């Protein structure tokens, strides 16, 4: 994983872009980019302290936005162009959205809504009844 770019956004968040490309045949590669951003979960995002506790109890104090872009079977000679095209398209389509002043809050509230609508996805393992302290 090679860091290829770090983009500080106007809302204070920082986007990192890593190259995960790898060879898949003698003369072709899979061009893959991983885009990530860490988001601190602030109590001010929520109407109630219990909402903050519910989310951080599952995800902790920091959320990770992650997006992957890929193109498979790219000729060696086209690797740089394919990477640049993926990155340019992502920036043109997503940077304004990710730069929104409310992005972090909206992401946290979206995850909280998902926890409540799909609690089975977020079940914690039951304590082992056979273990004694």
- 99-130 tens-digit pLDDT: 999 999 999 999 999 999 999 998 765 666 55
Is 88 within the bounds of a domain? Answer: yes
Supply the range of the domain harboring residue 17: 2-118
Is 126 within the bounds of a domain? Answer: no
pLDDT tens per residue across all 133 residues of the chain:
899 999 999 999 999 999 999 999 999 999 999 999 999 999 999 999 999 999 999 999 999 999 999 999 999 999 999 999 999 999 999 999 999 999 999 999 999 999 999 999 987 656 665 555 5
Cα(78)–Cα(48) distance, integer angstroms: 52
What's phi and psi for 132, nearest 5 deg? -120, 145
Is 89 within the bounds of a domain? Answer: yes
Is 92 within the bounds of a domain? Answer: yes
Radius of gyration, CA atoms only, the chain: 19
Is 123 within the bounds of a domain? Answer: no
Is 97 within the bounds of a domain? Answer: yes
Q: Is 73 left (phi over 0), alpha (psi -120 to 50) or beta?
A: left
Contact 99, 9 (CB under 8 A): yes
Cα(59)–Cα(56) distance, integer angstroms: 5
- How many domains does the chain divide into? 1
Cα(39)–Cα(91) distance, integer angstroms: 19
Is 124 within the bounds of a domain? Answer: no
What secondary structure does DSSP assign to 47-58, as a single string?
SSHHHHHHHHHH
Tokens coding 26: 């003698």
Is 59 within the bounds of a domain? Answer: yes
Contact 76, 28 (CB under 8 A): yes
> Where would I find the H helices in the chain?
49-59, 79-98, 103-117
Query: 0.85 exceeded by the pTM?
Result: no
């Amino acid at each position: 994983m090679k860091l290829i770019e770090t983009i500080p956004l106007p809302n204070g968040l920082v986007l990192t872009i890593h190259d995960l490309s790898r060879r898949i045949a003698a003369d072709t590669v899979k061009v893959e980019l991983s885009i990530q951003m860490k988001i601190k979960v602030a109590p001010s995002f929520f109407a109630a302290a219990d909402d903050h506790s519910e989310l951080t109890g599952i995800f902790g104090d920091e959320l990770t936005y992650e997006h992957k872009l890929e193109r498979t079977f790219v000729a060696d000679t086209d690797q740089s162009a394919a990477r640049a095209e993926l990155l340019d398209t992502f920036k043109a389509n997503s940077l304004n959205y990710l730069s929104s002043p409310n992005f972090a809050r909206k992401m946290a509230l979206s995850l909280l809504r998902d926890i409540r609508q799909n609690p089975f996805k977020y079940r914690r393992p039951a304590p082992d009844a056979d273990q004694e302290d």
